[in-house]
Amino acid sequence: MKLSSQVMYSGNPVETLAQVEAMERAGLDTAWIAEAYSFDAPTVMGYLAAKTERLEIGSGILPIYSRTPTLTAMTAAGLDAVSGGRAILGLGASGPQVIEGWHGVPYDQPLARTREVIEICRKVWRREVVEHKGIYNLPLPPGQGLGLGKPLKIINHPVRDRIPIWVAALGDKNVEMTAELADGWLPFLLYPERLDQVWGDALRAGKAKRAPELGELQFTGGGVLALEPEFFDGARAFARGVSSLYIGGMGARGKNFYNTVMQRYGYPDEAKLIQDLYLDKRKEEAAAALPEEFIANSNLIGPPEFVRDRIAALRAAGVTHLHVTPIGSDPAKLLAQVKEWIS
């Protein structure tokens, strides 16, 4: 099991990345760099590549709508080159609020777009000629075309012709496609004991179509990490705040992927209440409405014996990358302790 962590996308990235250097020395294997509507992820990833030696550097995630597929492939190849083959391309559809509200482009056909990005990226990295036949590789209507286009292949020779691609997916069709095509899966708010009841069928359907050369699907799980009693309350409050933000605030009523997952975990009434409170700007009440059971089992907050049991549950569920947000007097020391347990 590898150890990974998300790099916060707000604040000063230079200060944040100094912390990541310490985490690398403590044993962190993978750092994920988010891109929402703050600084772009590739700039931060390139800076991190220059400051680290062995750390895998993943985009967590690049929205599929904000770049053309070929630009996404070029960016990943460039990052892989400057990092010496340590890049991971994390992709995701994000959501209508960010894509339409921030980028100003339609949030449409996320499955077809994701599949196309994956196919084109791998073609680019193999230095094959890219010839566009239409958006999502579907024929364009009569009178519309790419007549000025010229089939091209990337000038540079990429360091690797198979940069790992991970996909952030929650819906059944997206998870099925991820299990079929991607190297890794980035779920969110993972409750390992209930993973199969929510995504089991989709994962099995995707894996049945998976090419053998892709190997086993990797995926993350973990949550907020705290081992020192004086930090337990703060860590749980942080976990509640993050969970309620996504379950309650990421989307509209009736169209919130995280809320749907919460319902499928077995908390339909709680999911509705959290969303109602959050959208009514009663954020503290929304956070308080999260069930204790859910917070306990989707995070790693407690004494060492409890956290080790949670890691065992994640391992049993198939998690390959223990994904943590460390909170304590010395976050790097926390990571070193957990790294020892999972090695």
Strand, coil or helix: 58: strand
Structure tokens at 316: 């049993």
Same-domain pairing of 176 and 122:
yes
Query: What burial class does residue 329 get, using C-beta atoms within 10 Å of its C-beta: 0-12 exposed, 13-18 middle, 19+ buried?
Result: exposed
Same-domain pairing of 205 and 65:
yes
Mapping DSSP onto H, E and C, the string for 147-209 reads CCCCCECCCCCCCCCCCCEEEECCCHHHHHHHHHHCCEECCCCCCHHHHHHHHHHHHHHHHHC
Which tens digit of pLDDT belongs to each residue from 223-274?
Answer: 999 999 999 999 999 999 999 999 999 988 888 999 999 999 999 999 999 9
Same-domain pairing of 89 and 176:
yes
Cα three-residue angle 135-76-222, rounded to 5 degrees: 100
Nearest Cα to Cα of residue 165 among 44, 69, 261: 69
Same-domain pairing of 174 and 291:
no
User: What is the phi/psi pair of residue 262, to 5°?
Assistant: -60, -40
Tell me how far CA of residue 125 lies from CA of 111, 158, 161, 327, in angstroms.
22, 6, 5, 38
Same-domain pairing of 120 and 260:
no
Same-domain pairing of 192 and 272:
no
CA 198, CA 184: separation in Å to the nearest integer?
18
pLDDT at 143 over 70: no
Which tens digit of pLDDT belongs to each residue from 56-77?
Answer: 999 999 999 999 999 999 999 9
Share of the chain above pLDDT 90, in %: 86
Same-domain pairing of 248 and 168:
no
Residues in the chain: 343
Strand partners, 33: 7, 59
Cβ(191)–Cβ(65) under 8 Å? no
pLDDT at 315 over 60: yes
Same-domain pairing of 36 and 74:
yes
Q: Could you tell me the pTM of the whole model?
A: 0.95
Total structural domains in the chain? Answer: 2
The predicted pLDDT at position 151 comes to: 86
Same-domain pairing of 53 and 156:
yes
- Evaluated on CA atoms 60, 64, 68, 73, the torsion sign reads positive
Same-domain pairing of 181 and 320:
yes
**Which distant-in-sequence residues (6+ apart) come within 8 Å of 54 by Cβ?**
24, 86
Range of the domain at 15: 2-224+304-342
Query: Other C-beta atoms within 10 Å of 244: how many?
Result: 23
The predicted pLDDT at position 148 comes to: 55
Q: Using 50, 70 and 90 to split pLDDT, how confident is the model at 147?
A: low
pLDDT at 138 over 70: no
CA 291, CA 274: separation in Å to the nearest integer?
10
Query: What burial class does residue 45 get, using C-beta atoms within 10 Å of its C-beta: 0-12 exposed, 13-18 middle, 19+ buried?
Result: buried
Same-domain pairing of 195 and 240:
no
Strand, coil or helix: 328: coil
The predicted pLDDT at position 95 comes to: 87
Which tens digit of pLDDT belongs to each residue from 164-179?
Answer: 999 999 999 999 999 9
Q: Residue 84 maps to which CATH number? A: 3.20.20.30
pLDDT at 81 over 90: yes
**Which distant-in-sequence residues (6+ apart) come within 8 Å of 214 by Cβ?**
181, 182, 183
Mean pLDDT across 107-119? 94
Same-domain pairing of 107 and 81:
yes
pLDDT at 145 over 60: no
Of residues 195 and 11, the one with the higher pLDDT is 195
Please state whether beta strands 56-59 and 62-63 pair in parallel, antiparallel, or not at all (unpaired): unpaired
The predicted pLDDT at position 254 comes to: 84
